[in-house]
Amino acid sequence: MPSPNHPFPPPISPPATLSFFLEFSLNQLEKAVEAAHTFFMANPEHMEMQQNIENYRTMAGVEALQLVDLEARPHLESYSAGVKHYEADDFELAIKYFEQALREYFSEDTECRALCEGPQRFEEYEYLGYKAGLYEAIADHYMQVLVCQHECVRELATRPGRLSPIENFLPLHYDYLQFAYYRVGEYVKALECAKAYLLLHPDDEDVLDNVDYYESLLDDSSDPASIEAREDLAMFVKRHKMESELIKSAAEGLGFSYTEPVRAKREEEMVPSGVNVEGAEVHGLSMGKKSSPKIDRDLREGGPLLYENITFVYNSEQLNGTQRVLLDNVLSEEQCRELHSVASGIMLVGDGYRGKTSPHTPNEKFEGATVLKALKFGYEGRVPLKSARLFYDISEKARKIVESYFMLNSTLYFSYTHMVCRTALSGQQDRRTDLSHPIHADNCLLDPEANECWKEPPAYTFRDYSALLYMNDDFEGGEFIFTEMDAKTVTASIKPKCGRMISFSSGGENPHGVKSSDKEGERTWKVGDAMWRENNWERIQADEVIAILDREQQGKHELNINPKDEL
């Protein structure tokens, strides 16, 4: 039976949050928060669980220290702690945690390899139909074990719940350490770590320069040639290369394919950046603001806006980010009113979110409608066809502006176009602390703890650019915000108003969200476009409806029919 203090749990979605629900029902609040936080760390895109955590953090007795990840892996936690101290210029503590992370890493590597020594698996063929000879069976089993052990490097670089490993994970420990040891004056250890890093990335010019500089700092009693790469990594790399050769040879002989889990770092993935220290240029991982995620295209902006009356407001630099632009007067006041009018006839609660009334926050009602639905309603006479056509035309206008302003060398198509209304629910706005739309990225899963954005499902990984076009400003709050990848540090805040458009690239370089409205009953209206390199099926259908309407209109003009004669 629910307790008097906590009569009912907030809405949750079983079975993923079953542990959280059961522990709440048993009034074990601390364990409930731990279970919720653990689930959220592996599923940072899960909006409802994020809201659950925020709800329980406001309850008495729930402190930040209770946000424990029950599936946290020690070496990853130590690594994250090392990065935080490094960025705070606390190099002594950074060294402590990076060294601890390495000890834990190699210990977990040993355990991971031991677990590979199990019975032979038969995923690719039926057990009863397996007719290999003795030597072939032995070779088959041995290669299964060897491939499994070789994959431990990928396994240990992958956070719980994620599909993709942290890029360049093990070498980064030594890259951080070489600079940290330099900053505390331990030049021999700095040299050992730099040489260790070069075992995996021998052509890294920054670290090669560091090696020369560290050698010049040694006293006369030290022979630079006698200082070798760290033994822990040297042994690891030697074993890894031997395994790679064995697997490569076996793959050719036994006819299976294999992708190496550790690869050389491409030039555009180079992590170190120059930091000038005491007059000498020594290269370490950049401190302070983390570098933005890499974008696999040329970054350009400032192209023509194509349409008269559109007002340029801010570019990427003024919005403190990458590939961002803010424009005004993309819609006129009259067009905003007309879209309001058509919206009232086509919007559906929970549209696009499987009918969920409040998909992002329980404090607001969400309504939406697509371009295709508007055109169908217009064609059927349920809403003015002219207004439905305006919805389509405005989305095309936004696409052309984005293509032109960001000077893209290929055509953008629509992934999704949605007219949205958010309404602040009565009785639920007092002491509200959540966001109208939590911080996220559009084509990857934002992981603030890891400072990463994982480009994997269920994120819409195919999206390239996004645009939001506001239709009203008769409300308080509701600002659109950009943040750093920590999902906390706001880099830009934009007040909505009729005709204002914000557009940006859809990746982890642009985490964003929406602040809540301040008053009950206030409604925020906007049109959202997500664009990529291929058209989605619904947009193709909308284009076909437009083509039919254009042909019908053309036919009327060619026949010179007076509309009154048709009545």
Torsion, Cα of 266, 267, 269, 271 (10° steps): 130
Alpha-carbon gap, residue 376 to 391, rounded angstroms: 12
pLDDT of residue 9: 39
Alpha-carbon gap, residue 550 to 565, rounded angstroms: 20
**What are the residue ranges of CATH 2.60.120.620 in the chain?**
312-425+435-551
pLDDT of residue 257: 67
The CB density around residue 57, as the number of other CB atoms within 10 Å, is: 16
Q: Please indicate whether residue 354 is annotated as part of the active site.
A: no
The CB density around residue 387, as the number of other CB atoms within 10 Å, is: 21
Interacting residues of 377 by C-beta distance below 8 A, sequence separation 6+ = 345, 346, 383, 388
Q: Contact at 8 Å (CB) between 510 and 322? A: yes
pLDDT of residue 20: 46
pLDDT of residue 6: 37
Phi/psi for 481 (5° steps) reads: -130, 140
DSSP string, 154-195: HHTTS-TT-SSPPTTHHHHHHHHHHHHHHHTT-HHHHHHHHH
Residue 527 in 3-state DSSP? strand
Q: Is the pTM of this model over 0.75?
A: no
Alpha-carbon gap, residue 299 to 541, rounded angstroms: 32
- Regions of the chain short of the pLDDT cut 70: 1-30, 37, 41-67, 120-132, 253-298, 428-429, 431, 518-536, 555-567
List the catalytic residue out of 162, 324, 422, 523.
Answer: 523
The CB density around residue 563, as the number of other CB atoms within 10 Å, is: 7
Q: Give me the CATH topology for the region 312-425+435-551.
A: Jelly Rolls (2.60.120)
Which among 408, 443, 421, 428 has a CA at the least distance from the CA of 347?
A: 421
pLDDT of residue 269: 36
